[in-house]
DNA sequence: ATATATTTGTTGCATTTGCAACGATGTCAA
DNA sequence: TTGACATCGTTGCAAATGCAACAAATATAT
């Protein structure tokens, strides 16, 4: 039997590409934003759905709730996010962007879209098919 | 302008899929092996190239050298890997699998290959093209 | 040969992470 | 209502991580 090749192993390759891509994107915006990846995810999610709980973000954004909670606290300390107890259900916290947070997202969005465009350009004609497969993997119960 | 959609963002999707896939694979073998991901990577790399330094693994396997060093130490403590100073260049450490380490890889290799086959089956006819694109991203300087 | 610079692997340290426990709130049934 | 149970967000804690500093070994230059 041929010896096992880690460099051909799908989970490995995916992890390496994902880590490099996250790093590359982080380098592009961190000098402006100073955000970590978890903070970026929370901020970006809030920009598309204005009033959300920690739990909502946890499920939508694929992060542990403690990670979300801590990222939200850091964002609050930076003045980018407001945390208010939900009056209808006082267990929930309503997270929303401050005007400062919105302003940051206005600056970050074009950077994100440009980065994504660059990646797609790199893939050329295969980009669309690649994303279809990626969606399959997202939906699959791995 | 349409609001930014994190769920469509490539670095995000890639990170989520990679993390889930690594987790799924880890669940399949950890009950047998007890290995963490860094330990698995070092062990798997050693199985395909018998005598290697920490630096070699660091570059080939895309891990910080401290991560490699600590993973190797844990593997040594478990009796799976032998660490010897290289007599030609005494800065280097020669890592190699013990017979116990080889035996573990013999058990793990079919599990890994089966997992990969399952993922490819999930992607169906698109699997090949997906891996071509993944290779493009691996080679790109992101 | 000697001094300087580079490479290699380990370790200290601060930060981040995942997990479980917890208090607080809310739901449901009897 | 009361009591048992579930849900939400935070926090304590141990482990993992990234980075810089470091000692040892080697390479390079003068």
* Structural domain that includes position B103: 28-139
Q: Does A58 contact strand D, using a CB cutoff of 7 Å?
A: yes
When pLDDT is averaged across residues B76-104 and rounded to a whole number, the result is 97
Contact B42, B72 (CB under 8 A): yes
- Measured between beta carbons, the chain A residues lying within 8 angstroms of B126 are 129, 132-133, 136
Q: Give pLDDT tens digits for B99-121.
A: 999 999 999 999 999 999 999 99
Q: Is the ipTM of this complex over 0.90?
A: yes
Residue B107 lies in a domain: yes
Residue A12 lies in a domain: no
Q: What angle do CA A109, A113, A114 make, to 5 degrees?
A: 115
Please answer yes or no on whether B22 and A11 come within 8 Å at the CB atom: yes
Please answer yes or no on whether B109 and A1 come within 8 Å at the CB atom: yes
What CATH number is associated with residue A118?
1.10.10.10
Q: Which nucleotides of D are covered by protein (CB under 7 A)?
A: 7-12, 16-20, 24-27
- The residue among A97, A5, A21, A41 whose CA lies nearest residue B49 is A5
Q: Give pLDDT tens digits for A59-110.
A: 999 899 999 999 999 999 999 999 999 999 999 999 999 999 999 999 999 9
Q: Does B37 contact strand D, using a CB cutoff of 7 Å?
A: yes
Residue B91 lies in a domain: yes
Contact A60, A45 (CB under 8 A): yes
Q: Which residues make Cβ contacts (< 8 Å) with residue B41, sequence separation at least 6?
A: A6, A12, B57, B61, B63, B71
In B34-64, which residue ranges form alpha helices assigned H by DSSP?
Answer: 37-48, 54-61
Task: Please tell me the total count of domains within chain A.
Answer: 1
């Amino acid at each position: 039997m041929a010896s096992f090749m880690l460099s051909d192993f799908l989970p490995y390759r995916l992890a390496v590409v994902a880590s490099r891509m996250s790093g590359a994107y982080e380098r592009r915006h961190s000098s402006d934003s100073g955000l970590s990846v978890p903070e970026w995810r929370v901020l970006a999610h809030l920009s598309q759905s204005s009033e959300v709980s920690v739990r909502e973000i946890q499920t939508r954004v694929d992060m542990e709730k403690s990670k979300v909670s801590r990222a939200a606290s850091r964002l609050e300390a930076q003045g980018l996010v407001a945390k208010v107890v939900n009056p209808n259900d006082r267990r929930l916290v309503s997270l929303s962007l401050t005007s400062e947070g919105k302003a940051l997202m206005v600056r970050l969005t074009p950077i994100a879209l440009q980065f994504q465009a660059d990646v797609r350009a790199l893939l050329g004609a295969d980009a669309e098919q690649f994303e279809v497969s990626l969606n399959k993997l997202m939906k699959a119960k791995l």
